[in-house]
Amino acid sequence: MSASCRVKFVQVDTTSWESQFAAFKMTLAWSSSRLDIVVPSAGVSGMLGKEFFTSASPTDDPPKPPTLTLDVNLTGVYYSALLAVHYLNHARVADDTFKPQLCFISSLAGYGEMPFSADYCATKWGVRGIWRGLRGVRGVNSLGGIQANLIAPTFLRTAMIASFVEHLEQAGTKVGEVGDAVEGVLRAVADDEVDGEFAEVLLCSFFMKCSHADVVCD
């Protein structure tokens, strides 16, 4: 690795504004106040499985639902996006030609439905809402040329689905690889012409491999 290639990891609580703010400040201090790309991608699986609705007897009071999925997947991404817009807009080099990039990670669960995953689906639809409220020439692009795109992966081979990936494959569902989503993010943040678009990682085929004219629009 050359001396110019450096990586820094900062531990952060995505559910905390103060923790994320501190992480952004640490990053800017390390990078000499330069910020080019932010990918809000915090995510945990849903907590409202079928057992949540069936474990209590009819005479029991309903249990308080968990909110971790909402706190991480939606509130955390919301915080990241707002901090990103601020610093991508202000932490710029005067003669820099690279457009600042904001790339959200949603899911096909933000476009369809997953039974007994109300909290997870709600967060992924919510990420789409944040993105749609910011994207485009009438959104953050008017603030220093920030481009905002969204990637919506289907099932990817990660620890999150390890317990049921075999069931998915036996049912004929193709499972993607992490690299499929990574390739999509790289395309979104490296192409000046891709702004306000979304792409699906669906059945191991990534739509962003097509030309810009073929990118699926939301």
Catalytic residue list contains 120: yes
Does the residue 89 lie in any domain? yes
Q: Domain for residue 116, yes or no?
A: yes
pLDDT for 48 equals 86
pTM summary value: 0.82
Query: Are 196 and 141 contacting, i.e. CB atoms less than 8 angstroms apart?
Result: yes
For residue 37, the SS3 value is: strand
For the stretch 94-140, pLDDT in tens is 667 788 999 999 998 898 888 888 999 999 999 999 999 998 888 89
Report residue 214's pLDDT band, with 50, 70 and 90 as the boundaries.
Answer: very low
**Structural domain includes residue 53:** yes
Q: Residue 98: give its domain's CATH number.
A: 3.40.50.720
- Model confidence at 206: pLDDT above 50: no
Contact (Cβ atoms closer than 8 angstroms) between residue 132 and residue 111: no
Say whether 79 is catalytic: no
* C-alpha distance across the termini of the chain, in Å: 39
In a domain, 140, yes or no: yes
Return contacts of 123-129, CB within 8 angstroms, 24+ apart.
123/43, 123/69, 123/70, 123/73, 123/74, 123/77, 124/73, 124/152, 126/73, 126/74, 126/77, 127/40, 127/73, 127/74, 127/77, 128/104, 128/152, 128/198, 128/218
- Give me the domain span that covers residue 188: 17-214
Residue 5 is assigned to a structural domain of this protein: no
Contact 112, 158 (CB under 8 A): no
Q: Burial code of 185-213, b = ≥16 C-beta within 10 A, e = fewer? A: bebbbebeebbbbbbbbbeeebbbeeeee
The total number of structural domains in the chain stands at 1
Q: Check residue 5 and report its DSSP letter.
A: -
What share of the chain in percent tops pLDDT 70? 88
Q: Is residue 64 part of a domain?
A: yes
Question: pLDDT tens digits for 183-200?
Answer: 888 888 888 878 877 776
Q: Is 12 inside a domain boundary?
A: no
Active-site hit among 87, 120, 174, 209: 120
- Residue 8 within a domain: no
Catalytic option among 8, 87, 124, 174:
124
Check: CB of residue 215 under 8 Å from CB of residue 196.
no
